[in-house]
Amino acid sequence: MLEIRPIPAFEDNYIWLLKPDNSNQVAVVDPGDEEPVLDTLRREGLSLAAILITHKHGDHTGGVKDLVAIYPNAEVYGPAGEPIKGITRPVAEGDEIAPLGQGAIFRVMEVPGHTEGHVAYYGEGVLFCGDTLFAAGCGRVFSGTHRQLHTSLQRIAALPPQTRIYCAHEYTQANMGFARWVEPDNPRVLERQAQTDVQRSRGQPTVPSSLELELATNPFIRTGEPAVVAAAERFAGKALSSSAEVFTMIRTWKDRQYD
């Protein structure tokens, strides 16, 4: 069994800690800040064996240098298509990695859009997706394109619905507000928004999510649903001919009027 739990960082980041049963060798995903990771490792007597990076942004990579200085044998996996210092194992589409030994194997998926070379790690029934897919949302388009991000999200949407989604930020409450703008009559959206409000009022994380829940409530992967298409067309002021166009309008709408 692989234990996965969050290490909170900054205001709303999650650095994911991966720990096998009966081992003190662990991996972390997207350590933007070394201090909370080091605090956890020291407090629990753990040793860092690997770092997995999804993309180049500093809030996902900023802790790598100092972590490797203390744990020089730690492998650093990261996207081959992005300029990230400290990577020792560049990865690309289809690569399989075993950062903690053969008991936990992950397949690399290239999911560009948020950035040009963003990757995700899929295995053990879970997906570490960085800033590509959020709970009830998706990342902004920075150095990638809207079409790339739409394609990446559709690839994720095709994974088994029971897949657990480990994104890198606690954005769910705000994302649910926008999801309600898009689909105000979707009962699953209303139910999830109420549940999210309760969780956050108690200081509980709202992630991981499940792909099944995202398929039911996340407008950015529901771009073929009639209600989402209609909302996108109202914002665009015209008919839209493809789900990629619907996605672009929904993302632009959130950028301009909600975020």
Q: Locate tokens 């948020």: which residue?
A: 114
**pLDDT per position as a tens digit, 142-158:** 999 999 999 999 999 99
Q: Are 56 and 138 in contact (CB under 8 A)?
A: no
Tell me what percent of the chain is helix, strand and coil, each rounded to the nearest 5: 35, 25, 35
**pTM check: above 0.85:** yes
Is the pLDDT at 102 greater than 80, yes or no? no
Q: How confident is the model at residue 103, as a pLDDT?
A: 77
Q: How confident is the model at residue 1, as a pLDDT?
A: 85
Query: 106-110 and 96-97 as β-strands: parallel, antiparallel, unpaired?
Result: antiparallel
Q: Dump strand ranges (E) for the chain.
A: 2-9, 13-20, 25-29, 47-52, 75-79, 89-91, 96-97, 106-110, 119-123, 126-130, 133-134, 137-138, 164-167, 209-210
**pLDDT per position as a tens digit, 18-46:** 999 989 999 999 999 999 999 999 999 99
Q: How confident is the model at residue 205, as a pLDDT?
A: 98
**pLDDT per position as a tens digit, 107-146:** 999 999 999 999 999 999 999 999 999 999 999 999 999 9
Q: How confident is the model at residue 157, as a pLDDT?
A: 98
Boundaries of every domain in the chain: 2-91+112-258
Other beta carbons less than 10 A from residue 250's beta carbon: 27
CATH dotted code for 2-91+112-258: 3.60.15.10
Please state which of the ranges 47-61, 101-115, 223-237 shows the lowest mean pLDDT: 101-115
**pLDDT per position as a tens digit, 243-258:** 999 999 999 999 999 9
Q: How confident is the model at residue 7, as a pLDDT?
A: 98
Q: Which residues are catalytic?
A: 55, 57, 59-60, 114, 131, 169
Q: 184: cis peptide before it, omega within 30°?
A: no
Long-range CB pairs of 238-246, under 8 A, 24+ apart, other chains included: 243/150, 243/154, 244/146, 244/147, 244/150, 244/151
Q: Are 166 and 122 in contact (CB under 8 A)?
A: no
DSSP for 66-83, written as a single string: HHHHHSTT-EEEEETTS-
Q: Are 132 and 153 in contact (CB under 8 A)?
A: yes
pLDDT band at 70 (very low <50, low <70, confident <90, very high): very high
Q: Which of 9, 80, 76 is nearest to 49 (CA)?
A: 76
Q: How confident is the model at residue 16, as a pLDDT?
A: 98
Q: How confident is the model at residue 20, as a pLDDT?
A: 94
Mean pLDDT of 51-56: 98
**pLDDT per position as a tens digit, 161-217:** 999 999 999 999 999 999 999 999 999 999 999 999 999 999 999 999 999 999 999
Q: Which of 188, 165, 192, 164 is nearest to 176 (CA)?
A: 192
**Distances 252 to 130, 136, 145, 228 between C-alpha atoms, Å:** 20, 16, 12, 14
